[in-house]
């Protein structure tokens, strides 16, 4: 149930009573609580309030992070989106999206879905200079948390060797969700020493060859891709490397039955467009064909063998926390996300950290494989 306090706030924001009722009955808005602070989370969008929006009070509204369109034909995509105009090219860091904002003197980190992430909220001060929020309480830092010790992803970018790191890529205003320009953001990041995604420079369509070379290099370096942004942040598109497409398939194939088929189809499509745009042939084509087949089949077959030997499909991952309670809060958070994750081990580390080992089991994938292996006809 959404309390009358939040309902009147939504009315003030121009959402009609009927719309509020529909949203509430469909579960499109959910009232939540984190350490005594109540907030409203938008699972669906409503007017200008994008999916993932978080509302505390009439000033503290953090808009959902917008969807970024993808181009699959790099050259034609750039021509269509930016015409002949210049755009910034940044690294697309492979991690999870986080919005960081100060509410009533406390800094919170929100996931894409609008949950307060207990882990990121606890760790964010390790990466971001909190002075920023004293000077700009009205701004929201949007960035990627990435590294091998992530609570949401199995892999991180190759250059984060341990733990996890924060990479800023956007600064938005509370309430409007309007982004600062790229220049303004880079200036603030420098001033406060906030770590950012790598900026490869300003390009335009005349530098397409250089950009294609950049994609080749990032792919070789096992990096995910690029995000291209007009200086005013009005036009933003992403493009991923062939490496990332194949690697995502490899990661996903182990839990084949837990993912929608579209997960694989989309990545195969992107890879096909890359191969076609570059006119990859002969030996290089063979190399990709083999890599794709192997990425799809090898982890899949291995997981069938695992289940046939009586094992469960599962993933083990570790994170570092400052308080053990944070690990327990993560377990409840995972439960609310519908994930089956439990704590396997807790180990004391130097400098006041605890290493928590979690195990995520995939009951659907396990059951499905078990049934098929045992000869079920369908």
Q: Which residues in this chain contact ligand ATP in the complex, by CB under 6 A?
A: 65, 67-68, 90-93, 97, 144, 169, 197, 227, 238
Phi/psi at 98 (5° precision): -140, 140
Closest CA to 20 of 6, 36, 35, 34: 6
Shortest distance, position 94 Cβ to ligand ATP, whole Å: 7
Number of H helices, E strands in the chain: 12, 16
* Core vs surface per residue 63-79: b (16+ CB within 10 A) or e: bbbeeeeebbebeebbe
Tokens of 239: 């493009």
User: Cα–Cα distance between 58 and 12 in angstroms, integer?
Assistant: 8
C-alpha span between 362 and 21 (Å, rounded): 35
Query: Residue 98 gets which letter from DSSP?
Result: E
In angstroms, what is the minimal distance from the CB of 301 to ligand ATP? 27
Report whether 254 contacts 302 (CB < 8 A): yes
CB closer to ligand ATP out of 143 and 299: 143
Instruction: Name which of 91 and 163 has its Cβ closer to ligand ATP.
Output: 91
Token pair for 358:
């979690």
- 344 in helix, strand or coil? strand
Based on CB atoms, which residue is closest to ligand ATP, 56 or 166? 166
CB of 5 to ligand ATP, least distance (A): 30
- Cα–Cα nearest to 52, from 124, 117, 123, 125: 117
Residue closer to ligand ATP, measured from CB, 71 or 369: 71
Query: Which of residues 23 and 197 has its CB atom nearest to ligand ATP in the complex?
Result: 197
Name which of 97 and 357 has its Cβ closer to ligand ATP. Answer: 97
Residue nearest to ligand ATP (CB): 97
Q: Report the nearest approach of ligand ATP to the CB of residue 341 (Å).
A: 20
Q: How far is the CB of 127 from ligand ATP (least distance, A)?
A: 15
Q: How many angstroms separate the most distant Cα atoms in the chain?
A: 66
Nearest by Cα to 233 from 185, 168, 167, 166 = 185
The residue among 71 and 197 lying less far from ligand ATP, judged by its C-beta, is: 197
């Amino acid at each position: 149930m959404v309390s009358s306090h939040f309902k009147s706030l939504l009315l003030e924001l121009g959402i009609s009573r009927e719309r509020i009722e529909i949203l509430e009955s469909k579960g499109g808005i959910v009232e939540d609580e984190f350490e005594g602070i109540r907030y409203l989370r938008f699972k669906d969008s409503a007017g200008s309030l994008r999916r993932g929006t978080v509302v505390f009070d009439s000033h503290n509204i953090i808009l959902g992070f917008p969807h970024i369109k993808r181009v699959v034909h790099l050259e034609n995509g750039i021509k269509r989106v930016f015409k002949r105009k210049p755009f910034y090219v940044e690294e697309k860091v492979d991690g999870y999206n986080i919005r960081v904002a100060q509410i009533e003197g406390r800094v919170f980190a929100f996931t894409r879905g609008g949950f307060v992430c207990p882990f990121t909220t606890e760790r964010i001060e390790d990466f971001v200079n909190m002075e920023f929020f004293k000077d700009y309480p009205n701004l929201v830092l949007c960035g990627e948390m990435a590294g091998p010790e992530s609570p949401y992803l199995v892999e991180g970018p190759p250059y984060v060797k341990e733990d996890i790191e924060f990479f800023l890529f956007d600064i938005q205003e509370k309430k409007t969700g309007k982004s600062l320009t790229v220049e303004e953001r880079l200036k603030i990041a420098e001033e406060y020493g906030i770590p950012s995604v790598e900026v490869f420079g300003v390009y335009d369509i005349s530098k397409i060859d250089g950009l294609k070379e950049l994609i080749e290099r990032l792919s070789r370096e096992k990096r995910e891709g690029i995000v291209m942004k007009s200086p005013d942040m009005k036009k933003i598109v992403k493009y991923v490397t062939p490496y990332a497409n194949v690697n995502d398939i490899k990661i996903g194939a182990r839990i084949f039955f837990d993912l929608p088929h579209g997960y694989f189809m989309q990545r195969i499509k992107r890879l096909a467009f890359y191969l076609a745009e570059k006119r990859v042939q002969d030996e290089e084509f063979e190399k990709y064909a083999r890599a794709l087949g192997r990425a799809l089949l090898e982890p899949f077959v291995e997981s069938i063998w695992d289940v046939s030997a009586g094992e469960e499909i599962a993933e083990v991952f570790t994170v570092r926390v400052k308080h053990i309670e944070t690990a327990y809060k993560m377990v409840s958070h995972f439960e609310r996300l519908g994930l089956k994750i439990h704590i396997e081990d807790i180990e004391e580390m130097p400098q006041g950290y605890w290493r928590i080992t979690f195990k995520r089991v995939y009951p659907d994938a396990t059951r499905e494989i078990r049934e098929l292996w045992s000869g079920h006809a369908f």
